Amino acid sequence: MTITRRAMIALAAGAAASPRFTSAASPKSVWWQEAVFYEIYPRSFQDGNGDGIGDFIGMADRVDYLADLGVDAIWVAACFDSPNADNGYDVSDYRKIMPDFGTMRDFDNFLERAKKRGIRVILDMVFNHTSDKHSWFMKSSSSKDSFYRDFYHWHDGRDGAAPTNWRSAFGGSAWTLDSHTNQYYLHTFTNRQPDLNWENPRVRSELYAILKFWSDKGVDGFRFDAITSIAKPLELYDLSAQDIAAGRSFADRGERLHAHLRDMYARCNADSRLYFVGETWGADRTLFVELTQADRHELSAGFPFDLQMKDIEDGWRKTPCKLSDLRAFNAGNAFDNEPGVWPVIWLEDHDFPRSVSRYGSQKPEFRSRSAKMLAIMLLSLRGTPFLYQGQEIGMENYPFTSIDQFNDVTAHNVWSEQVGGHHVTSAGMLANLAATTRDNARTPMQWNAARNAGFSAGTPWMLVNPDYRTINAAAQTGDRNSVFGFYKAMIKTRKTQPALVHGKYRDVSPDNGAIYAFRREHPAGNTLTVMNFSDSPEIFRIPQDVKPARVLIANIPEHSIVEPSLTLEPWEGMIIAI
């Protein structure tokens, strides 16, 4: 049998190459299971007032762009008032928009525009900690007798040192001595981010009131930052040397965590209308299932991190990305045996490098094709897809040449520890950080080939990737063969094929070192996704029980399937109805 892919050019323009389903929904599905999300990192998305910083004015102006892409919901990353010790993840006022990003009126206008285009909005909620400039902490640190003292974790030192040997996620001790009260406060991250005490019911009530404030405004859910760290041990203890070496957290990820999440869900989302998605950092498979199982009413879903850390050791050291790791992660993340678990599927966010630079081809001639192939993979897996700004145009990592170019506080901390301690050479550390730093995701969005990539009329807060002259949205939105055009077509394809959303997952190439192929099986029809993760042509033998019917989408328009094998060009991918 020979099946051509001539229809792919039309599909990239938005035409369907196969009969459309009226809905990809399962009878019991909820809105966020069918949605494609798009994360906006406000500081780097679009500057609307010329001060070099992205804002809600700029975001509102780009709602039509996102509607054209076809996304259903927007996740707005940290946007509340903050002194920016960690780029907004140190909140000083949860009911105020960060002045850098505009006013509440600007936010309301953005939300209204999004709603008019049928796009939902969820907000980042940083509830593990606040800024040290939050009024709660300022009052808490004013006196041991303060009403707000037990809003945070305060303890006496031990033998002239910190209460325990716990380590901060950003390096150094997790305890900082307050000279005014002569006690230590706990911080999972920097000492500018003191941890809230969730054992205090007054703290929980304050946080729940914040959720109500924003849900009353019309937001559709929340992404909870560092949510697996909110529960702390009721008794202090030291971690073993082995635990510290392994990077084990001191957080209590047992029943206290579950109890807090169940309480928040019951108090704030009893009707399950809101999407409660957690950053489930440090959760193994068992804990992830417990946190996200629908009938437990803790979280709607979670971001799994197993894949994201496979090629990044110690938080900064770059290691090779293996197809076997990608394959194993996707198989496990399907959760076919856990129907009540609905994961997030993602390749990029504001904390990780660009997916094309990590998983795609490093050869310029295959960059665009590999970006499209990654779109095929991401959008044909079970779960809720999250895209990150710039992913839809194939933005790449920044070509860093000096430590002075980094904004990432983690990068500077690691540099001081490793290079300053003579453990790693400066050249070696630069190469590693250039591949792993969070800054790769935080360079300004590349809108066009004009000055500053069209991001700002002023001086951008962050370096603009010099490749913006060739990789930008303006060059792609009108091109059906561009990465943007392909993402748009792939989103449409996902929405017309129930198997791509709800189907069972089955790997049909488990031992292939270059070809990754998997089936999605659903009563409404089955699909086969086939991809070549290499810079050379590869032959894939079609399984005997697979009968190709038609090609739904492919990143190379003209090709043929000749059973019983298929020759795939470098970084070629396709989805076949079977």
Go through the chain and tell me how many residues it has. 578
On whether both 213 and 249 belong to a single domain, the answer is yes
pLDDT at 73: 99
Instruction: Please name which of 115, 114, 122, 79 lies closest in space to residue 99, comparing C-alpha atoms.
Output: 79
Assigned domain for 59 exists: no
CB contact at 8 A, 454 and 447: yes
CA distance 11 to 36: 19
Q: What are phi and psi of 115, to 5 degrees?
A: -60, -40
CA distance linking residue 186 with residue 485, whole number of Å:
48
Find out whether 531 and 376 touch, Cβ atoms under 8 Å: yes
Same domain, yes or no: 223 and 275:
yes
566 in a structural domain: no
- Let me know if residue 500 belongs to a domain: no
Q: Which of 39, 47, 72, 225 is catalytic?
A: 225
Q: Is residue 83 part of a domain?
A: no
Residues 222 and 249 in one domain: yes
Q: Which domain holds residue 157?
A: 135-186
Q: Are 85 and 187 in contact (CB under 8 A)?
A: no
Tell which residue, 271, 434, 438, has the closest CA to residue 348.
Answer: 438
The answer to whether 56 and 110 are in contact (CB under 8 A) is yes
In a domain, 386, yes or no: no
Residues 213 and 269 in one domain: yes
* Structural contact between residues 162 and 168, judged by C-beta atoms closer than 8 angstroms: no
| Range list of H helices, 316-406 | 323-333, 355-359, 364-378
Structure-token pair, residue 95: 């009911």
Of 237, 257, 282, the residue that ends a domain is 282
Whether 459 maps to a domain, the answer reads no
Query: Under 8 Å CB-to-CB from 561, ≥6 apart: which residues?
Result: 1, 2, 3, 542, 548, 551, 576
SS3 346: strand
Which of 220, 252, 282 represents a domain boundary (last residue)?
Answer: 282
- Token couple for 142: 């004013």
Q: Are strands 527-532 and 573-577 parallel, antiparallel or unpaired?
A: antiparallel
225, two tokens: 């930052």
Same domain, 211 and 275: yes
User: Given this model, what pLDDT does residue 441 score?
Assistant: 98
**Domain shared by 181 and 206, yes or no:** no
Identified catalytic residue from 106, 124, 132, 279: 279
Helices (H), 334-394: 355-359, 364-378
Same structural domain, 208 and 268: yes
Q: Rounded distance, CA 55 to CA 540, Å?
A: 47
The pLDDT, as a whole number, for residue 457 is: 98
CB 393 within 8 A of CB 473: yes
* Total domain count, the chain: 2
Residue 492 CB neighbour total at 10 angstroms:
19
Does 205 reside within a domain? yes
Is 225 assigned a catalytic role?
yes
Q: What is the pLDDT of residue 65?
A: 99
pLDDT for the residue 29: 76
**pLDDT score recorded for residue 577:** 94
CB atoms within 10 A of CB 513: 12
162 Cα distance to chain centroid: 34
**Whether residue 214 sits in one domain with residue 273:** yes
Q: Are residues 210 and 182 in the same domain?
A: no
Place of tokens 């009911």: 95
What angle, 0 to 180 degrees and rounded to 10, lies between the N-to-C axes of helices 364-378 and 483-496?
A: 20
From the number of C-beta atoms within 10 Å of its C-beta (0-12, 13-18, 19+), residue 16 rates as: middle
Q: Which of 288, 388, 273 is nearest to 334 (CA)?
A: 288
Contacts of 209 (CB under 8 A, 6+ apart): none
Reading the block at residue 512, the tokens are: 């292939």
Position 559 scores a pLDDT of 64
Out of 116, 151, 186, pick the residue that ends a domain.
Answer: 186
Residue 279 annotated among the catalytic residues of the structure: yes
Q: What is the mean pLDDT of each run of 10 residues along the chain (578 residues)?
A: 37 36 53 98 98 99 99 99 95 99 99 99 99 99 98 97 95 95 98 99 99 98 98 97 91 96 98 97 95 97 92 92 94 93 97 97 96 99 98 98 94 93 96 97 99 98 98 97 98 98 95 96 96 96 87 85 84 96
In the Cβ-directed half-sphere of 38, how many Cα atoms lie within 13 Å?
Answer: 27
Handedness of CA 454, 457, 461, 467 (dihedral sign): positive
Q: Is residue 440 in a domain?
A: no
454: left (phi over 0), alpha (psi -120 to 50) or beta: left
Query: Which CATH number is 146's domain given?
Result: 3.90.400.10
